[in-house]
Amino acid sequence: MDGLDEWADPLKKTVLPVLLPCYSKCTVLTTTRHWKMTDERMKDSQIDCLLELEGVNDPHQFSKQILSCIIKEELESNHHEFVEYVKTNNLNEFYFTPVLLASLVVSWLNGMHIRGSRCEVYISLLDCLLKKSSISSDCFVSPPAYCFSETRYVCHNIELVHALSEIAFTQLFTFKKENLLVFTEKEEAILKPEQKTLALKTGILSERKSSTLTGISTLSFIHKSVQELLAAFHIARHNFVIEAVIEKYFDTFPDAYLDLSQVFIFLCGLNIKAANDLSRVIDQHTDMTDINVLPSCRYSRIQDLMTKGYTEGRANNHKDDDIRLNLSNLEVLDR
């Protein structure tokens, strides 16, 4: 089962889906984000083996291999310079994810130097993907956010990005959890045929054909984090959805902020005013979250989320006076 953190019991009684009796004879591999494991209803007796994926084993060597595919001369000195660039700009967090590490190397070689911003890292990845199908490059005269300033291929494809952002938002904030990451041909109506072709060609979207007689295909984003970035961009452009959609979503799923925390962090970089508004919604719903999660743990998560949001806001040149994230409960640890 892929994505336990994306599943929710409509009756809010169980933390795990009830499987058919025949599955008792099978080995069931389940993936989830780590926060799901803190639910008190998740018993150790239900888990035979717990594995944690940590990403690239040797990012130092991996980044060197990527560089060697692009440049042939002065490899050692260039690689040393790249490693220092990663350290100086606090990019170690992205050093262990293959696709992000590759994107960092390529953007660095192209002179697009990222300064520790999560938004910049993922926008750089998006720019690299769009480069695959772009004949010419173009820069924004007035970029929609600071992190778009050095992009070369997003501007020319901005209508595609807008369409994908709308789909990403619609799917993440759907009340049907089974449609969270995968959308069908019926739901892709937002995309024009040529936009769908372009999105598939660049790799932003992937398509899987059904093996059933209907032959219906499903589309999904290259990675959930890319979908979260695009969803945040949609909120940044249309902040009315915070009140019109997100508040109602949180009324139904009070602890949704846990799984949508990356959307919030991205929003802090893209549009701090909208992020301030969303922080108020999250703060208001804190005491309504799952009773199976201890209050201290709950407040600690919110506190950590707001801290990361502030850091992302500052990394995207937002002034302290403009960053007004709400936090009603502060946990202070005795040491």
From first to last of its 335 residues, the chain has per-residue pLDDT tens of 666 766 667 666 777 777 766 666 788 888 876 556 656 677 767 778 877 766 678 888 999 999 999 988 899 999 999 999 999 988 888 888 888 898 899 888 888 888 889 999 999 999 989 988 887 788 899 999 999 998 999 999 999 999 999 999 998 988 776 556 677 666 678 899 999 999 988 989 988 765 555 556 778 898 889 999 999 999 999 999 999 999 999 988 877 877 889 999 999 999 999 999 999 999 888 765 554 444 556 677 889 999 999 999 999 999 999 999 998 876 666 55
For residues 61 and 76, give the distance between their C-alpha atoms in angstroms, rounded to a whole number.
Answer: 11
For residues 116 and 311, give the distance between their C-alpha atoms in angstroms, rounded to a whole number.
Answer: 9
Give the long-range contacts of residues 23-32, CB within 8 A, separation 24 or more: 28/1, 29/1, 30/1, 30/2, 30/4, 31/1, 31/2, 31/3, 31/4, 32/3, 32/4, 32/5
Domain boundaries, the chain: 4-46, 56-113, 241-322
State how far the alpha carbon of 245 is from the alpha carbons of 14, 214, 251, 268, in Å.
26, 33, 10, 19
The rounded Cα 34 to chain-centroid distance in angstroms is 15
Nearest C-alpha neighbor of 187 from the set 202, 198, 172: 172
